Chain A
Amino acid sequence: MPPTTPPARPRTALLVTCLVDTMRPSVGFASAKLLEDAGCEVHVPPQTCCGQPNYNSGDRAGAKALARGMIAAMEGYDFVVVPSGSCAATVIKDYPQIFAGDPVWEGRAQSLAGRTHEIVSFLTRVMAVETVAARCEGTATYHDSCSGLRSLGIKDEPRRLLGSVEGLTLSEMAEPEVCCGFGGTFCVKYPDISNKMVSNKTADIAATGADLLLAGDLGCLMNMAGKLSREGRAVKARHVVEVLAGDTATPAIGEA
């Protein structure tokens, strides 16, 4: 993706995602902090869901209805930033296809797609952030969530920024690019397969010797963290932006 020169203090909307909104607001606050540190003016327009659950379940009409709401909510900002590769990919890749040929909405969907970024790749690619001022003692392993990796090409960006976190060592899994088995509704529609996949993943995580699991998507993280705790493993799980923003005080996912 070619680097674009952002305005001096870009008006930036945080598309916080349903899961972060409901389950883990600290990811939203960490995102806002990182954006402000990078020189963005952060706004949180009232918003609901991007429509991905409906879109991936075959309910195209439902997906369109929710997508229209999101498109309207995010108009008037220089950038829209998402702490999730999956929801970001829905807006960036799927919206233009969903509205292809629609005289009113195709243009608006394309405009939003062009302004929308996953947060870590936004910081590095658009705001040219090279380092963060954060500290986190320990060894982390990073899971590449599928949409961020394969739809948006995010691979080095989180590792580069994590490399600047004081006290943190990265230890790679054997297969960081293999799906954790979350898959949205997949994990409850096909629990047996999902369990097999997440069990492979937690074994891979444990083999790294890391005490901290990081990723860029809360759905995947809840799946892996839930399995790690069910298996009684001591590995903690956090969204990558929490560590980048220096928030290690908030209890890890599934901890109290």
Chain B
Amino acid sequence: MHEATTPDFKANVRAALANKNIQAALGNAQAGFVAKRAKARAGLPEFDDIRDAARDLKNHVLANLADYLERYEAKVLAAGGHVHWAETAEDAQAIVLDICRAAGAKTVNKGKSMISEECAINDFLEEHGIRAQETDLGEYIIQLRHETPSHIIAPAIHVTVPEVEAEFRKAHTHLDPARNLSQMPDLLAEARGVLREKYFAAEVGITGANMLIAETGQSVIVTNEGNGDLSQSLPRVHIVMASLEKIVPTLEDASTILRVLARSATGQEITVYTTFSSGPRRAGDPDGPEEYHVVLLDNGRTNMLGTEFQEMLRCIRCGACMNHCPVYQSVGGHAYGWVYPGPMGAVLTPSLIGVEKGGQLPNASTFCGRCEAVCPMRIPLPKMMRHWREREFEKNLTPSAVRWGLAAWRIVAGRPWAFRLVTGVAAFGLRLAARGRGRLATLPLGGGWTGHRDFPAPQGRTFQSQWRGQNQWRGRR
């Protein structure tokens, strides 16, 4: 797995806020996502009913996960495919390497897959002498830049167009310096030309899966570039990397999820390509791989079953939560320090790498609730972030200043006389400190606030003391 920089979240944040390119790239992209999703939602009056249905069907799956996985496995085997169970990311790496070696692979083409990111499969294969070639445009760009995705569906969202041009000019040595590459379509055409050649070179193709269908044994990918199809149908061997919870019972269920997936993600009614893979090439098939492997990754997910984090396993990786998150919009995905950013990452990351490493993320939320409001699977993300804060508090991982503050507040607010005293002194003292200006530019111990904004001074006496004074004679309390 990639080494998480999540414990350095605050330093990552400062770097991201100071990075002009990241800030420029994030601003425009996010507004586009929000508007497109809103339009797509408005165009489907029953959208919220489908969300309910999608939530219910995934809850049913999670309650019967082993059963559906076994049914799926039986179907894949019957179609002549192979199913590999990977308990950890390291297990998945070893399985993929074995398949690649058996296929004599020198090059592996990849469709976009977050599970392959979770397993850091590219670096691992490179270490063993096998070239992993990304074919999704965004993934291709960040591979050139030696970066990880900063968004689960738009991996290069943090990169500006001029930065892409510079990267292409560096990597594509054939490029005529006079050729205009200032616009996105020019860059797309250039990438397409370069990648087209590479599709035929690979012995193995790796894709992810948006869903696995128990009834049919199919895996499903949704893409807009067609690169996934070429990656999986041209090489001799196709490997699907998927996590366990991607399973749905039937084709009908898959269509329920598809109806909310693209609308929530990019605002499309449906993606340009929706590809169903059923196994290796059959006699009479004009194309398709000779070998078909599915690597099913657990990597901590089954530990979430039966806990307050189980509902997170409904996630279909649409990215709507991060597209609507003001924290994500401020700092981008790399600041989160591991594979999954944004609100879904803030819940999932501590589950998969431990709250000791991932605990910053569920704390870095205002609980504004916009993520939950747009989540197609109705995952209560803020509630689960609060659960992580509770786990931290129980384990004494909450910073001691915060613990002391909370304990003191409990004591003060637990005793009306103490509350009256403390609020009275605060109201009077801060008023005095403001020296008639109505606000304070600095506060002792309040640098977190006054470093960036003034602190409005209180009016002088507490409401409760004034109310008592005014109303005693009227016989009210």
Question: Does A142 touch B at the CB level, under 8 Å?
Answer: no
For chain A, what secondary structure do more than half of its interface residues adopt (helix, strand, loop), or is it mixed? helix
Per-residue B-contact encoding for A124-150, CB less than 8 Å = 1, 0 else:
000000000000000000000011001
Q: Which of A43, A150, A193 has the most CB of B within 10 A?
A: A193
Which residue of chain B has its CB nearest to the CB of A22? Answer: B423
Compute how far the CA of A195 lies from the CA of B13 in the bound complex, rounded to whole angstroms: 12
> Is A28 within 8 A of B463, CB to CB?
yes
> Is B391 within 8 A of A69, CB to CB?
no
Looking at the assembled complex, report how far the CB atom of A210 sits from the nearest CB atom of chain B, in whole angstroms: 19
> Is B459 within 8 A of A226, CB to CB?
no
A26 to chain B: which residues have CB within 8 Å? 459
Per-residue B-contact encoding for A39-69, CB less than 8 Å = 1, 0 else:
0001111111101011111111010011001
| A197 with B453, Cβ < 8 A, contacts A146-B369, A187-B448 known | no
Question: Does A256 touch B at the CB level, under 8 Å?
Answer: yes
Compute how far the CA of A60 lies from the CA of B388 in the bound complex, rounded to whole angstroms: 12
A229 to chain B: which residues have CB within 8 Å? 439, 453-454, 456
A192 to chain B: which residues have CB within 8 Å? 10, 13-14, 17
Looking at the assembled complex, report how far the CB atom of B417 sits from the nearest CB atom of chain A, in whole angstroms: 10
Stretch at the interface among A100-108, A158-166, A178-186: A178-186
B393 to chain A: which residues have CB within 8 Å? 57-60
Question: Does A151 touch B at the CB level, under 8 Å?
Answer: yes
B449 to chain A: which residues have CB within 8 Å? 187-188, 191, 226
Contact of A185 among B402, B413, B477 (CB under 8 A): B402
> Is A66 within 8 A of B477, CB to CB?
no
A223 to chain B: which residues have CB within 8 Å? 453
Question: Does B174 touch A at the CB level, under 8 Å?
Answer: no
Question: Does B461 touch A at the CB level, under 8 Å?
Answer: yes
Compute how far the CA of A190 lies from the CA of B361 in the bound complex, rounded to whole angstroms: 11
Compute how far the CA of A196 lies from the CA of B30 in the bound complex, rounded to whole angstroms: 15
Looking at the assembled complex, report how far the CB atom of B183 sits from the nearest CB atom of chain A, in whole angstroms: 27
A194 to chain B: which residues have CB within 8 Å? 366, 452
A28 to chain B: which residues have CB within 8 Å? 463, 467
A60 to chain B: which residues have CB within 8 Å? 390, 393
Question: Does A20 touch B at the CB level, under 8 Å?
Answer: yes
B456 to chain A: which residues have CB within 8 Å? 23, 222, 225-226, 229, 253-254
Contact of B364 among A55, A69, A190, A250 (CB under 8 A): A190
| A222 with B452, Cβ < 8 A, contacts A20-B463, A48-B414 known | no
> Is B368 within 8 A of A179, CB to CB?
yes
> Is B410 within 8 A of A182, CB to CB?
no
Which residue of chain B has its CB nearest to the CB of A189? Answer: B363
Question: Does A37 touch B at the CB level, under 8 Å?
Answer: no
Per-residue B-contact encoding for A220-233, CB less than 8 Å = 1, 0 else:
00110111011000
Number of interface residues of A (CB under 8 A): 73
Question: Does A21 touch B at the CB level, under 8 Å?
Answer: yes
Question: Does B386 touch A at the CB level, under 8 Å?
Answer: yes
Per-residue A-contact encoding for B233-263, CB less than 8 Å = 1, 0 else:
0000000000000000000000000000000
Question: Does B466 touch A at the CB level, under 8 Å?
Answer: yes
Contact of B410 among A54, A185, A189, A253 (CB under 8 A): A54
> Is B326 within 8 A of A191, CB to CB?
no
Question: Does B419 touch A at the CB level, under 8 Å?
Answer: yes
Question: Does A24 touch B at the CB level, under 8 Å?
Answer: yes
Question: Does B284 touch A at the CB level, under 8 Å?
Answer: no
> Is A195 within 8 A of B452, CB to CB?
yes
Per-residue B-contact encoding for A10-37, CB less than 8 Å = 1, 0 else:
0000001010111111111100100000
Compute how far the CA of A55 lies from the CA of B409 in the bound complex, rounded to whole angstroms: 12
Contact of B464 among A44, A179, A185 (CB under 8 A): A44
Which residue of chain B has its CB nearest to the CB of A218? Answer: B456
> Is A191 within 8 A of B452, CB to CB?
yes
Looking at the assembled complex, report how far the CB atom of A35 sits from the nearest CB atom of chain B, in whole angstroms: 13
B10 to chain A: which residues have CB within 8 Å? 190, 192
> Is B365 within 8 A of A186, CB to CB?
yes
Question: Does B191 touch A at the CB level, under 8 Å?
Answer: no
Which residue of chain A has its CB nearest to the CB of B390? Answer: A58
Question: Does B94 touch A at the CB level, under 8 Å?
Answer: no
A55 to chain B: which residues have CB within 8 Å? 386
The residues in B between 451 and 477 inclusive whose CB is less than 8 angstroms from any CB of A are: 451-459, 461-464, 466-467, 471, 476-477
12 contacting pairs across A/B (C-beta < 8 A): A21-B464, A22-B463, A58-B386, A58-B388, A65-B410, A150-B370, A150-B373, A189-B364, A197-B327, A225-B454, A253-B456, A254-B456
- A44-B471, A178-B368, A256-B457 given; 11 more Cβ-contact pairs under 8 Å: A25-B462, A48-B415, A58-B392, A69-B414, A146-B368, A193-B13, A197-B366, A222-B456, A255-B438, A256-B437, A256-B438
